[in-house]
Amino acid sequence: MTRVAFIGLGNMGGGMAANQAKSGREVMAFDLSPAAVERAAGAGCRRAGSIADAVSAAEVVITMLPAGPHVRSVYAEHILPNAPPTALLIDCSTIDVDSARAVAAQAKAAGFRFADAPVSGGVAAADAGTLAFMVGCDEADFAAVEDAIRPMSRATIRAGDHGAGQAAKICNNMVLGISMIGVCEALALAEKLGLDPVKFHEISSQSSGQCWSLTSYCPWPGPVPAAPSNRGYEGGFATAMMLKDLKLAQDAAAKAGAAAPLGAAAEGLYALFDRLGGGGKDFSGILEMLRGNLPPAQQRTS
Ligand code: NAD
């Protein structure tokens, strides 16, 4: 039975660890939150008392942590000193490319195989085992990474060498953040022009405005029943998360000398929506800001 250590059992990691256990692997689960460890135990994982305890006999170590600083310290202070060097290390968090490359270099220097493997798909896909993984790793290691990821994945693509998975993730989410604002602006304008936004959805879905934000995740309630727009923009992909990814894209663009002005504009608009109380709402809820529908601060509950 493959021995997996899973570190970071939050909204995403909880479901991912559960799917590893469901596939028959022995999962040693650790999180700083005891409640998260209890939930993982309820889903078939074994409780680890520390990261060192979780990784000491692991064949595969998977991390799903908030951001770059968490990943850097967890690997440097806990995983690399305690895991057997035969273990395959896979970080699925969304972090900056520099941190991913720095951790990969440290891991390699200590004799480990390492992959950055951020995911696309939200909590529902994490629970269902249908995430898409974008992998940065040595070519020779990809088959083992793909096998380790299989219980959590519907698609796994090698993007390139270390850091390429994170690069793919932030570029993809920059497209998504920008396209969602474009769709919202068009829907808000259609409404102001007296055109039924649902009719506009039908027309643009079959015209050159067609894109995922419009046809699979429509921010206007109705046309796509599963989209968060039909439940008050609750659940889904939080604006605060989109903002984090757009900041990563801007930082990466600045360091690489790449111009990403629409990404910068999108970051500014989501930051405004966040300040107006939308940080916990699905990012498609920015439609309400663009329609001028946000209530004044004293009337808001969140
Ligand atoms: P989360 O905050 O729910 O979970 C992170 C978990 O890491 C928490 O349970 C926290 O206690 C734990 N943690 C933090 N530091 C730790 C440490 N030193 N040791 C052990 N555990 C520690 O976040 P999430 O929504 O699960 O997201 C995780 C990552 O996945 C982020 O990088 C995020 O950007 C990315 N992501 C999230 C989504 C989404 O829809 N939520 C989608 C794609 C990617």
CATH number at residue 196: 1.10.1040.10
pTM above 0.85, yes or no: yes
Rounded to an integer, the average pLDDT of 248-273 is 97
Provide the CATH number for the domain around residue 56.
Answer: 3.40.50.720
Under DSSP, is residue 196 helix (H, G, I), strand (E, B) or coil? coil
Residue pair 11/123 in contact by the 8 Å Cβ criterion: yes
In a shared domain, residues 80 and 186: no
The pLDDT value recorded for residue 207 is: 98
pLDDT tens digits, 13-29: 999 999 999 999 999 99
- Last residue of a domain, which of 130, 162, 194? 162
> 165: Cβ below 6 Å to ligand 1?
no
* Cα 87 to averaged position of ligand 1 atoms, centre (Å): 22
Instruction: Report the C-alpha gap between 99 and 88 in whole angstroms.
Output: 18
Instruction: Report the C-alpha gap between 243 and 146 in whole angstroms.
Output: 29
Tell me what percent of the residues of the chain surpass a pLDDT of 90: 94
Confidence band (pLDDT; 50, 70, 90) for 225? Answer: very high
Locate the ligand 1 atom nearest the alpha carbon of residue 241 and give its number: 34
In a shared domain, residues 150 and 189: no
Locate the ligand 1 atom nearest the alpha carbon of residue 65 and give its number: 7
In a shared domain, residues 224 and 294: yes
In a shared domain, residues 106 and 249: no
* Cα 284 to averaged position of ligand 1 atoms, centre (Å): 21
Amino acid at 38: E
Which residues span the domain enclosing 213? 167-301
The pLDDT value recorded for residue 200 is: 98
